[in-house]
Structure 1
Amino acid sequence: MSDGLLGPAQIRALAAEHGISPTKTLGQNFVIDPNTVRRIVRVAEVGPSDVVLEVGPGLGSLTLALLPAVARVVAVEIDPRLAAALPGTVAAQAPDRADRLAVLTADALRVTAADLPAEPTALVANLPYNVAVPVLLHALETFPSLTRALVMVQAEVAERLAATPGSRVYGVPSVKARWYAEVSRAGSVGAAVFWPAPRVESGLVLLRRREPPAADRSETFAVIDAAFAQRRKMLRAALAGWAGSAAAATAALEAAGVDPTARGEALDVGDFARIAAHKPRP
């Protein structure tokens, strides 16, 4: 253990002390490497004025690395045992910074601004693999005060989030994330830094908030969903249900300046927003 951070022995001891066994159901893989959490804090570019929203703090590895660097950490933990244990761990490892921590026992997919003690400026989290994309999109939509996010996710998810038009893995997560932010890969993380070690590698994704397109979000997301639900189809066919008919879809695409024979994987978020703005009226 170094500078109050948790190593493998401390993580296992804390888990045993609180009767906690990592569960696949909640996607629990605890970080046991201090260098990894230091790296995450550095790449996240957080500072003394930031209020960080941390989703799934687990046993506190990343929390302890964040506390010296920021004004406050608001940790949202769905497992009540972990949520109850975290304040004690922080008090023991970093007593002079314990007052910077607030813990909320809740499902991150249902948390609203009213639930938090302060407006978060950054999301920094080791997101559970099974809900990573929904949690990220929910946070970006629910907390407009977030200026950036640094999330650790399964490598495959990181690739999808950071993919650009034309990529074979470009899809719904890629486009929807770009509604809110500029998205880029920020490094890879090996399985050995986790306990238990997952069977897959992980990746870091950095998102910087930007102004969304001048269009209705829900309508744009409906177009995105329709375009990729049948990604092998041309847009005039894939969007027929959304527009009401293939002819109406063709008209909307042409009005938006998009080739009706193109496929969703060729479009960026601005293209989808323009299509949404030209939805035919019933």
Structure 2
Amino acid sequence: MMVKKRSFYQQSRPWLIAAIVLIVIVWAFSGLQFAGVKDSAGQILGSIFSGLFHPDWSYVYSGHGEDLLSALLETLAIAFLGTIISSFIAVPFAFWAAHTTKKFSLRSTSGKFVLTVIRVFPELVLAIMFIKAVGPGAFAGVLAMGLHSIGMMGKLFSEAIENIDRGPEEAIVAAGGNLLDALSWATLPSVLPEFINFTLYRFEIAVRSASILGIVGAGGVGAPLIFALSTRSWSRVGIILIGIVVMVTAIDWLSGTIRRHLLK
């Protein structure tokens, strides 16, 4: 059996790709301006670790609504409401952007473009914009989280719609059903588990993102964290960081458990 000899381009293509990647990496690092390490960096780092090992436990709960537990609950509420609202709004966007035919579709192309535009703006930028519109607080955080999540979940939902088996839809239409029947009895039951899975995954990410929205005044645990950092209250910083780690770890474990049972 004769083995077809590879051309010079086929032989050199891996090396060419590696060279391009290396050039891009060198170009990226050349734009960094390394200003050195400050003399106080070691002292500040030591203070932060000291705060982690000697946290301010009195800040965990005070009963006045201005403690760590209240801030964490507000963070969870921002992430939950933003995710739930966006998960419902993302569904029509997903059907708009889903490419369900082999031919070029202006509908799906325009839908994907809209979702891309929505995803361009990070949560912090959206939070600043909504703070100017509705004022500081958790409501601005919910709006920022919800709008950004529409772009991400709309993309994931549309990919789930594109990957489903079209056989049940065609069978329903062939049996005399209309497009609404196919949507209700074939498409939605097929994609609903994936929709729930993506929503839970997005909620995990939203909890992390909501933890820093308070830095710009959009509610949550970020506000007391930035205040503690600015006042160099390292023991307060330590207990807040511990609270964030515990909250994110618990949410990841719970969400992962639900998703594993959902996909069985």
Q: Which has the larger radius of gyration?
A: 2
Q: TM-score, normalised by structure 1?
A: 0.19
Higher strand share: 1
Q: Between the two structures, name the one with larger relative contact order (CA 8 Å, sep ≥ 6).
A: 2
